[in-house]
Amino acid sequence: MMRSLTYGLRAWRSKTLAVTLMLCAIVALPARAETVHLLALGDSLTQGYGLIEDEGFVPQMRAWLAERGHDVRLVNGGVSGDTTAGGLSRVEWSLTPEIEGMIVALGGNDLLRGLPPETSRANLEGILEVAEAQEIEVLLVGMTAPGNYGPDYKAGFDAIYPELAEEYDTLYFPNFFRGILPEGGTPQNAAGMMQGDGIHPNADGVALIVEAMGPSVEELISRIQSGD
């Protein structure tokens, strides 16, 4: 009888120890990071105009982030020829329920058409208001006006992005072309990094743009994950 009780006690202790060790192992396992869902709302620069699929801005940014260990789904919301007005008209339905953050890169086509800076500002502000209402973190990517529209136009347009970023507490990247342009330059100054039209970057140019903007996208991811 005593021998049977002793055996049973040992078996119970062994099972208890095994369960305890298993629970400790589970607790010690690193937490699996959840996928971060981002939308890149933009125009042909975002869409990847003139490039094969893997060479565009979105796939190259996805690859850059993956190489640095980020589990990110980046949706290509670029539409060729889109203005800030076009972005505003589609932002609400583009922000599907799983989207947590948005890269806003619009304004280039407003410049090509010479649209009034106040119009572009109002449209971008509308986009940021939608993002704010849906609690979406934003990285606002700036554009710089060329000098041929005059100093007043340039000053008015260039001020849009930093001022709105400050007002809406978004992250801010000063210029989409920052990675390939000299200070104060235009796309025409980026020799060897542009396609034949002088407006859109080639694959090598996109790689440099991604390299420059990538840390800001990482900051966007960090904001989302920290809940700030």
Segment 116-134 shows an average pLDDT of: 98
Q: DSSP state, 51?
A: S
Distance, in Å, from the CA atom of 29 to the CA atom of 75, rounded to the nearest integer, reads 30
Instruction: Please state the pTM of the whole predicted model.
Output: 0.83
189 and 205 part of one domain: yes
Give the residue carrying structure tokens 């339905």: 93
Nearest to 103 by CA among 47, 182, 180: 47
Q: Is 80 a catalytic residue?
A: no
Q: Are both 14 and 117 inside the same structural domain?
A: no
Report residue 194: phi and psi, to 5°: -115, 155
Helix (H, G, I), strand (E, B) or coil at 107: coil
In the structure, what pLDDT confidence band is assigned to residue 188 with cuts at 50, 70 and 90? low
200 as an active site residue: the answer is yes
Same domain, 42 and 22: no
Q: 1 is in which domain, residue-wise?
A: 1-30
User: Residue 110 catalytic?
Assistant: no
CA 31-32-37 angle, to 5 degrees, is 130
Annotated active-site residue in 4, 197, 226, 228: 197
Is residue 5 domain-shared with residue 51, that is, in the same domain?
Answer: no
Q: Are residues 20 and 42 in the same domain?
A: no
The backbone torsions φ and ψ at residue 97, rounded to the nearest 5 degrees and listed phi first, read -55, -30
Q: CA-CA distance, 1 to 166, in Å (whole number)?
A: 80
Same domain? 113 vs 3:
no
* DSSP at 33: P
User: Are both 139 and 180 inside the same structural domain?
Assistant: yes
130 and 159 in a common domain: yes
Q: Are 23 and 70 part of one and the same domain?
A: no
Q: Do 49 and 130 have their domain in common?
A: yes
Does residue 25 sit in the same domain as residue 125?
Answer: no
- The reply to whether 81 and 3 lie within a common domain is no
Contact 134, 94 (CB under 8 A): no
Counted domains in the chain:
2
Q: CA–CA separation, 112 vs 122, rounded Å?
A: 18
Q: Check pLDDT > 70 for residue 183.
A: no
Q: What is the CATH number of the domain that holds 174?
A: 3.40.50.1110
CA nearest neighbour of 47 among 86, 83, 74, 78: 78
Marked catalytic residue, from 44, 94, 120, 216: 44
Q: Which residue has the higher pLDDT, 187 or 105?
A: 105
Q: Distance between CA atoms of 96 and 78, rounded to whole angstroms?
A: 15
> Mean per-residue pLDDT for 67-90?
97
What does the pLDDT look like over 210-223, one tens digit per residue?
Answer: 999 999 999 999 99
The catalytic position among 82, 94, 120, 200 is 200
Span 109-120, mean pLDDT?
97
Mean pLDDT of 185-214: 87
Q: Which of 182, 185, 184, 175 is nearest to 216 (CA)?
A: 175
